[in-house]
């Protein structure tokens, strides 16, 4: 029974640590750019987009498709960085165990 009790305490401690990391990740941001910095996307490490900045020089009515591609690239890069950061931080808590449904 002692081993089971220890395991339960460890699981509870890990859950508390994971909740703390998730709260910290919701505040932490990463940034990615495209088009040589003309489009800048900032994502939170909880997977949400925090900000999007477009250099006015990138706005040309004749090149809307290019701007759309630049925005898409910057946002996808920022969200990928956010996921990688979140996975790395959660991995520190879980000791590298792959726990489905955490992130």
The domain ranges of the chain are 2-94
Cβ pair 60, 74 in contact under 8 A:
no
Dump strand ranges (E) for the chain.
29-34, 39-44, 49-54
Report the run of H or E that residue 92 belongs to, with start and end: helix 64-94
User: In CATH, what class is 2-94?
Assistant: alpha beta
Query: Average pLDDT per run of 10 along the chain, which is 103 residues long?
Result: 81 85 85 90 86 88 87 90 86 70 52
Stated pTM of the model = 0.62
What is the per-residue pLDDT for 66?
87
What is the per-residue pLDDT for 19?
86
What is the per-residue pLDDT for 101?
56
What is the per-residue pLDDT for 92?
84
What is the per-residue pLDDT for 100?
58
What is the per-residue pLDDT for 37?
92
Q: How many CB atoms lie within 10 A of CB 22?
A: 17
């Amino acid at each position: 029974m002692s081993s089971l009790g220890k395991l339960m305490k460890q699981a509870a401690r890990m859950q508390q640590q994971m909740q703390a990391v998730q709260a910290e990740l919701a505040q932490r941001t990463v940034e990615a750019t495209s088009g040589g910095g003309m489009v800048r996307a900032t994502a939170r490490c909880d997977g949400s987009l925090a900000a999007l900045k477009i250099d006015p020089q990138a706005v040309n009515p004749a090149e809307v498709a290019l701007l759309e591609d630049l925005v898409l690239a910057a946002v996808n890069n920022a969200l990928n960085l956010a996921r990688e950061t979140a996975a790395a931080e959660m991995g520190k808590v879980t000791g590298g165990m792959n726990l489905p449904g955490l992130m």
